[in-house]
Homo-oligomer: A and B are copies of this chain.
Amino acid sequence: MLPVTRTQPPFAITRASHVTLAVTDLPASRDFYRDVIGLVVTDESADAVHLRGLEEAVHHSLTLQKAESPRAEQVGFRVETDDDIDRAEHWLAAAGLPHRRVEVPFQGSTLQFVDAVGAHIELTSRMDVVERRMQDFHTYRAGAPQRLDHFQVVTHDVQAATDFYAGLGMRLSEYTAADGTDELWGSWLEVKGNTHDLVFTNGRGPRLHHFAYTVPDATSLIHAADVAGSLGFGDEIDRGPGRHGISNALFLYLRDPDQHRIELFTTHYQFIDLEAPPIRWDVSNPRRSQVWGMPASRRWFFEASEFPEQPVREPLLAATPATLEDYLGLH
């Protein structure tokens, strides 16, 4: 039996689409995302830098905002039309969730809300259209990231988070559960037809663990690591390269100058047909996290970006020391 029921609300989220980060040194962060990661700068001002992946026709998928302290400001999703924004607004009001309409440069109708576990979510229906750059091969840098793909959020209550997004039409593709139970430790939720747009894992939250861009292949991933090394950011790789059992991603995680985390990964598998059941992994199975690869660093496990004004809560499911050591691969 699946631990989650999916329903379609009167509006449709179509994909994970953009993220807004508060950063303390705007030029340093811009240089990092442009030169070490390889994103394209679409627009730049004294207060903000907008970037996108090489294939993206949207104005931005990453917004850096100058601030006093680093924060994950908004995790962004797309809906199809302005009408979806209107219907989402009504639905949020009925659900009693904090929300507001906002004007965001280069975006169409935009709505922000706080979800069931405290993450800051932004929905928009449109962005300014810019040129896709994936055929400007001579401008490729580093990992040549093509598009923003998904988010991972640490939460104190994975079940509540999963139920909330299943209620927004998201579908569970894979999940981790305590051995012999359906106690959810992690959930991989999707809406765009592959394994995830949004992931929740158990821990102190809400915090944004990472946002992820696709890269074309394993060679691009290694080249991204090489470029990080040659530009002096080799130590900012806090996990990988390795292969996740869940979703089959070949991954590399890097920390930006404010220690926000970005994942570069090759793509996951298609997940469209309804008869395919979600894949269950025991949380004690180390292959769920890596089929091979060196253990993740402690900072990969314990560090993440907080949202503004959202208190961080201890997880409902407490890791025993034994489990934790296993989780870290430190036996």
B-binding residues in A (CB < 8 A): 14-15, 17, 35, 55, 57-58, 78, 80-81, 108, 126-127, 129, 132, 134-138, 140-142, 146-147, 192-193, 216-219, 222-223, 225-231, 234-235, 237, 239-241, 243, 245, 248, 250, 266-267, 269-270, 272-277, 287, 290-295, 297
CB-CB under 8 A for A272 and B35, given A193-B192, A222-B241, A243-B225: no
A239 to B57, alpha carbons, bound, how many Å? 30
Q: Add 19 more A-B contacts to A135-B248, A138-B231, A216-B218 (CB < 8 A).
A: A58-B276, A135-B229, A137-B227, A138-B142, A138-B230, A147-B269, A192-B272, A217-B217, A219-B219, A225-B292, A226-B292, A228-B292, A230-B291, A234-B293, A237-B294, A241-B241, A267-B267, A293-B294, A294-B295
**Residue among A231, A270, A272 with the highest chain B CB neighbour number at 10 A:** A270
25 contacts between A and B (CB under 8 A): A14-B273, A15-B193, A78-B272, A80-B274, A108-B275, A126-B273, A129-B275, A129-B276, A135-B229, A135-B230, A137-B227, A138-B231, A192-B270, A217-B219, A217-B266, A222-B241, A222-B250, A225-B293, A228-B292, A234-B290, A234-B293, A235-B292, A237-B294, A294-B295, A294-B297
So how many copies of this chain end up in the complex? 4
Q: What CA separation (Å) do A218 and B15 show in the bound complex?
A: 27
Q: Complex formed: what's the CA distance from A97 to B18 in Å?
A: 44
Look across to chain B and name the residue whose beta carbon is closest to the beta carbon of A108. Answer: B275
Among A137, A235, A293, find the residue whose CB has the most chain B CB atoms closer than 10 A: A137
Residues on the B chain within 8 Å of A290, using CB = 234
**Residue in chain B with minimal CB distance to A17:** B273
